[in-house]
Amino acid sequence: MEERLLKIQKEAEEALKKAKTLEELEALRVKYLGRKGPLTLFIQKIGDLPREERPSLGRLANEIKKDLSREIEEKRGRLKERQALPSLDLTLPGKKPPLGGLHPITQVLNEVTGIFSRLGFRIVQGPEIETDYYNFEALNMPPGHPARGMLDTFYLTKNTLLRSHTSPVQIHVMEKEKPPIRVISLGKVYRYEAVDASHLPMFHQVEGFMVDEGVNFSHLKGVLEVFLNELFGPKTPIRFRPSFFPYTEPSAEVDIGCLICKGKGCSVCKRTGWLEILGSGMIDPSVFKAVGYDSEKYTGFAFGVGIERIAMLKYNISDMRLFFENDLRFLRQF
């Protein structure tokens, strides 16, 4: 008889494990613990058993009934909790966590360096803390030179400063290497500027230069025209205007047709139809003298462009400060 009770218990527990719904669980409760269930019927017939077997078998039957009732109620609670959860289709693909995007300045830097890389320029980095020599003197701006006033500089000590342009990288490279050289450098530069919609004390520049025998101004024009047409579109109007930079001679400012009004004249281009985009020129012989190059044998050109300026034109942004305020409403547009 004891074996029969244990067999009933084992069958009921195995069936409980397979129950997946409250309906299946209720059916099992009725089957094993209901009025016509095997356990109930066994208890009802205990009185027909020999007197000496009744106590032990009665006690075992009640314990099994109590254990099964407890297990059914526990299973019922778990099934109710599961039903309260939202349904989940395990065959659906998982949801990818949201990822951040590249900052618009980074996007423009990548685009600019990609264009020059295809033109055969290699990327070189330089220090952001420079000496007065590399930032000024070697670039034909000795102490007292009026061109120093063009670059409001953050001095750290008498002879060290935060670089005010990326042009010092020219000197570092030419001191270590002999022509032919074709390099672009990029990074942060610092100037003591009043903060407004078009000026910040820190911004990004890309400086490029090429040195070899026979390099002339037509090479400079060709490289910059390819660069600007790649960046702003193949039909972008481009013009070169004479200008002055202490480390290039002759020098030129480069303008593109206004992207806002398409050259018709608007407030952005000050009714001229043109927007200044970068500075350029042939490297001054005095710069070659500072690095030990023979200016009779070698010639070269250099150019520099502000990345924030390009980004503002490409994305039609009127305030440079937006790039660095970390406003997600602004950054998510890119």
Characterise 262 by phi-psi region: left (phi > 0), alpha (psi -120 to 50), beta (else): left
Asked whether residue 175 falls in the same domain as residue 33, the answer is: no
pLDDT at 40: 73
Q: What spatial distance separates the first Cα and last Cα of the chain, rounded to whole Å? A: 79
Tell me what the mean pLDDT of segment 31-42 comes to: 76
SS3 93: coil
As a whole number of angstroms, the distance between CA 12 and CA 112 comes to 74
Asked whether residue 161 falls in the same domain as residue 239, the answer is: yes
- 96 assigned to some structural domain: no
- 109 assigned to some structural domain: yes
Asked whether residue 140 falls in the same domain as residue 206, the answer is: yes
pLDDT at 173: 95
The residue count for the chain = 334
Model confidence over 129-142: pLDDT tens digits? 999 999 999 999 88
Asked whether residue 7 falls in the same domain as residue 50, the answer is: yes
Asked whether residue 76 falls in the same domain as residue 33, the answer is: yes
pLDDT at 86: 66
- 166 assigned to some structural domain: yes
- 99 assigned to some structural domain: no
pLDDT at 270: 79
- 89 assigned to some structural domain: no
- 176 assigned to some structural domain: yes
Closest CA to 171 of 159, 147, 252, 163: 163
Tell me what the mean pLDDT of segment 88-113 comes to: 87
Model confidence over 185-228: pLDDT tens digits? 999 999 988 888 878 899 999 999 999 999 999 999 999 999 99
Asked whether residue 19 falls in the same domain as residue 147, the answer is: no
CATH code (residue 108):
3.30.930.10
Confidence of residue 87 (pLDDT cuts 50, 70, 90): low
Asked whether residue 182 falls in the same domain as residue 60, the answer is: no
Which runs of consecutive H residues, i.e. helices, occur in the chain? 2-18, 22-33, 38-44, 54-84, 104-118, 132-135, 168-176, 217-232, 285-291, 307-315, 328-331
Domain residues for the domain of 184 are 104-331
* Cα three-residue angle 213-145-219, rounded to 5 degrees: 25
As a whole number of angstroms, the distance between CA 67 and CA 72 comes to 9
Confidence of residue 43 (pLDDT cuts 50, 70, 90): confident
Asked whether residue 56 falls in the same domain as residue 113, the answer is: no
- 24 assigned to some structural domain: yes
Confidence of residue 25 (pLDDT cuts 50, 70, 90): confident
Asked whether residue 229 falls in the same domain as residue 188, the answer is: yes
For residue 267, with 0-12 CB atoms within 10 Å meaning exposed, 13-18 middle and 19 or more buried, which class applies? exposed
Asked whether residue 278 falls in the same domain as residue 166, the answer is: yes
Asked whether residue 73 falls in the same domain as residue 212, the answer is: no
Number of domains into which the chain is organized: 2
Asked whether residue 14 falls in the same domain as residue 109, the answer is: no
- 98 assigned to some structural domain: no
Confidence of residue 261 (pLDDT cuts 50, 70, 90): confident
For residue 331, with 0-12 CB atoms within 10 Å meaning exposed, 13-18 middle and 19 or more buried, which class applies? middle
